[in-house]
Amino acid sequence: MSLPTDPAANLAALIRCPSVTPAEGGALTALEAMLAPLGAVSERLVFTEDGTPDVKNLYARIGDSGPHLMFAGHTDVVPPGDEAAWTYPPFAAEIAGGEMFGRGAVDMKGGIACFTAALARYVEKHGPPKGSVSFLITGDEEGPAINGTIKLLEWAAARGERWDAAVVGEPTNREKLGDTIKIGRRGSLSGTVAVTGRQGHVAYPHLADNPVRGILMLAEALLSPPFDEGTDDFQPTNLEITSIDVGNPAVNVIPARAAASFNLRFNDAWEVETLQAEIHNRLDRASKESRLRPGRADPVDFEIEWRDRPSHVFLTRDEKLIDTLSASVEALAGAKPTLSTSGGTSDARFIKDYCPVVEFGLVGQTMHMVDERVALADLEALTRIYLRFLEDWFV
């Protein structure tokens, strides 16, 4: 049985599986088939929770001793959008101009294809690793992230799985392959603040209490002043108002309620609890100051609802993991990568509770876009970097 040493062939097989969240689409089946010739013992898990779609996941392990390296990722992809807008069908894996087109090409079926090829080349060259390699692959990263990695980790840990380090194959590079390794992520906290007023006719404002005035004032208090100036390892904490809603289709009616939703990306100067306290303090101060404004005699009546499952900030400090991967990138890409904590969240936020984790994959410039694509040269280059990393990590 031939080994899956060609990353382009691996990726084409994965792209041709229409695994739009939460559908498996055949992608986990295809990956399981690739790993079988490497001696992987694979298990398929389906996790459920009320109010969310069932999700299929894959855990595969090669070897039964330590050290134990985890490769983590997802085969689910975002919807392709208007398929007529694509130059080539989004699930055809067409190649043109030295690039492979398809949904998931860089986010992140490409990373999975390359790591699989790298491990196959390692086995072909050296035999089984002097330890273990596991694949922890979900179909829920682009979805609610409830029935995927977090539950797969809990399941594996409960049966005795332990890991020494993990690499997540997300598309971390900004401009060219090898420019960025993610060694941490900012935290993420979301909430909605709502103001209750009194509905009435716009021609008789003295008989009503317009909550829009209050919600705009509270939103301003959330945005200013800045939360911090950043830390040694992280960008400044940032809050964005993502929606302001009143549910009012009429232009001559003062609404009874207005709400503003927001999201914070925060650094290691904060914990979730301290940040929530800061938000409450800002809103309380702004509410009381409203009495000094014309037309208001009472504080703004508001309530706040926090979204479930905030993401905590984390920073990986494992020297062996970071230094080995950095050296592999520098040796094969020709430049020392930046160690970054920028960007959004990923499933690394769950993995960091079990072992040190970093993220490194392809260039992410076309992820989630029409005509998502990857250079074939980058597939080969990333495979070589992963192979060098495996050779140096398993010493």
Where in 197-272 does DSSP place strands (E)? 200-201, 238-245, 253-254, 257-266
347 appears as a binding residue in the annotation: no
User: Can you tell me the distance from the alpha carbon of 114 to that of 361, in angstroms, rounded to the nearest whole number?
Assistant: 9
Q: Which of 6, 24, 76, 268 is catalytic?
A: 76
289 appears as a binding residue in the annotation: no
SS (H, E, C) 333-347: HCCCCEEECCCCCCC
- The yes-or-no answer on residue 319 being catalytic is no
Q: Which of 24, 99, 140, 141 is catalytic?
A: 141
User: Can you tell me the distance from the alpha carbon of 191 to that of 115, in angstroms, rounded to the nearest whole number?
Assistant: 37
Other CB atoms within 10 Å distance of the CB of residue 134: 21
Half-sphere exposure of 65 (CA within 13 A, CB side): 5
179 appears as a binding residue in the annotation: no
Beta strands 357-359 and 165-168 are parallel
Residue type, 88: Y
Taking a C-beta distance cutoff of 8 angstroms, is the pair 321, 351 a contact?
no
- The yes-or-no answer on residue 76 being catalytic is yes
126 appears as a binding residue in the annotation: no
DSSP string covering 18-65, please?
--BTT--TTHHHHHHHHHGGGT-EEEEEEE--TTS--EEEEEEEE-SS
Please give the annotated binding residues for Zn(2+), written as ranges.
Answer: 74, 107, 142, 170, 368
List the binding residues. 74, 107, 142, 170, 368
Q: Which residues are catalytic?
A: 76, 141
